[in-house]
Amino acid sequence: MNHWSLIFPTVVDYHAHDEITAEVILVHGAVSVKVDAKLDTGSKFCIFQPGWAAWLGLDLYSGVLQHIRTAAGSFPAYGHEVILKIGDLEWQTTIFFAEPENFPINVVGRIGFLDRLQVGLVDYEQLLYLGPYEA
């Protein structure tokens, strides 16, 4: 039998939420905001509500346009470079801000989040373990 070992310097306790939710910090220039984001392993991108772009001083429409498709339909979103922080981890990445003002949630997905990390999940204890991915 093989045994595997991973080291996780950051743990997120999401017991206060119905879904796997973590507080992330988005940074652009000298401005930072704390945002609750849901982990969505089925989402290709990290997508946030458009109001957060304004908080960061970003012009929503100056970002890279991406048409996001979901099972419920599609919507335009605009990609911007930010620093994303969670616990003691941080990295520069592109996240997308949805165009619809009524976009209901913030999600961290595969590109820009999961592709930067090693992830351990113990849902029974509602704990998400995170460590940097090192090739």
Task: Check if the beta carbon of residue 107 is closer than 8 Å to that of residue 46.
Answer: yes
Strand ordering across the sheet containing 10-13: 10-13, 127-132, 117-122
The rounded percent of the chain whose pLDDT value lies above 90 is 91
Alpha helices in 1-135 (DSSP H): 51-55
Tell me if 134 is assigned to some domain: no
pLDDT tens digits, 21-51: 999 999 999 999 999 999 999 999 999 999 9
Task: Dig out the tokens for 124 from the structure.
Answer: 């029974």
Domain with 106 in it: 26-129
Name the domain count of the chain.
Answer: 1
Tell me if 21 is assigned to some domain: no
Tell me if 114 is assigned to some domain: yes
pLDDT tens digits, 60-96: 999 999 999 988 789 999 999 999 999 999 999 999 9
Tell me if 119 is assigned to some domain: yes
Q: How far apart are CA 15 and CA 35, in angstroms?
A: 17
What is the domain-level CATH number for residue 55?
A: 2.40.70.10
Tell me if 76 is assigned to some domain: yes
